[in-house]
């Protein structure tokens, strides 16, 4: 059984997200599944994503974490958000052609941030469960109408995306699956 979740952007027929779009041949083509603590994505990168011989480029580790955290926010909070800060810590190099799991979580929401920033965290783990990298980030939610001039979406795509963002799902506000 395929548990893959459809991100709201997937309603746009030709979206090109570097992280998660199946329409971007140069991208990572990440897919997402529920995790008891939030959202996860399995990752295996080949030589096209190499820095030092046999090692995944460190910048891509940040991209992967950002992608899983950002999509968790979209799925749990039902709002798109731009990344405004991100800090990634590398504990051990990720190796090419090896399997990893990125898990993103949202902290319990005790009270809203005064700035509206949504905090998230992610870990990339190897097949033994050892943490190889961690990342924390802050995301600024936005209304589609407010950033419409920055996005290459026509009216139909905006309507599709707005409808997809309002669709119910099984994530709580803190991203934990119910």
In a domain, 66, yes or no: yes
pLDDT digits (tens, 9 = 90+) for 81-128: 999 999 999 999 999 999 999 999 998 765 557 789 999 999 999 999
**Predicted pLDDT at 133:** 98
Phi/psi region, residue 54 (left: phi>0; alpha: psi -120 to 50; beta: rest), is left
Within a domain: 102: yes
**Contact by Cβ (8 Å): 44, 60:** no
- For residue 99, report the phi and psi dihedrals to the nearest 5 degrees: -90, 135
Mean pLDDT of the chain: 91
Residue 49: inside a domain, yes or no?
yes
Count CA within 13 A, CB hemisphere, residue 1.
Answer: 2
* Alpha carbons within 13 A on the beta-carbon side of 76: 28
Token pair in block for residue 6: 């459809």
Q: How big is the chain by its Cα radius of gyration, in Å?
A: 16
Q: Does residue 1 carry a pLDDT above 60?
A: no
Residue 158 inside a domain? The answer is no
Q: How many domains does the chain have?
A: 1
Lowest mean pLDDT among 35-44, 63-72, 110-119, 140-149: 110-119
Q: What is the mean pLDDT of residues 22-38?
A: 94
Position 111 scores a pLDDT of 58
Q: Which domain holds residue 97?
A: 8-143
Stronger pLDDT, 177 or 82, i.e. the higher one: 82
Q: Give the Cα separation of 70 and 19 in Å (integer).
A: 11
H-assigned helices in 13-110: 58-77
Flag whether 97 is in a domain: yes
Tokens of residue 174, six digits? 């803190």
Percent of the chain with pLDDT over 70: 95
Report the alpha-carbon distance of residue 134 to residue 121 in Å, rounded: 7
State the CATH number of the domain containing residue 135.
3.10.129.10
Q: Is residue 163 part of a domain?
A: no
In a domain? residue 98: yes
* Top-confidence residue, 1 or 47: 47
Global confidence as pTM: 0.93
In a domain, 153, yes or no: no
Q: What is the DSSP letter of 48?
A: G
């Amino acid at each position: 059984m395929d548990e893959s979740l459809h991100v709201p952007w997937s309603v746009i027929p030709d979206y090109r997200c570097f992280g998660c779009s199946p329409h971007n041949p140069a991208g990572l083509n990440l897919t997402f599944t529920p995790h008891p603590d939030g959202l996860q994505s399995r990752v295996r990168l080949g030589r096209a994503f190499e820095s030092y011989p046999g090692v995944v480029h460190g910048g891509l580790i940040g991209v992967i974490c950002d992608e899983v955290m950002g999509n968790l926010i979209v799925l749990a909070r039902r709002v798109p958000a731009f990344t405004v800060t991100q800090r990634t810590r590398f504990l051990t190099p990720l190796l090419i052609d090896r399997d990893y799991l990125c898990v993103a979580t949202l902290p319990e929401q005790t009270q809203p941030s005064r700035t509206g920033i949504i905090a998230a965290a992610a870990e990339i783990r190897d097949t033994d469960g050892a943490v190889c990298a961690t990342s924390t980030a802050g995301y600024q939610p936005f209304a589609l109408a407010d950033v419409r001039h920055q996005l290459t979406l026509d009216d139909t795509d905006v309507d599709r995306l707005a409808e997809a963002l309002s669709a119910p799902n099984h994530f709580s506000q803190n991203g934990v699956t119910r």
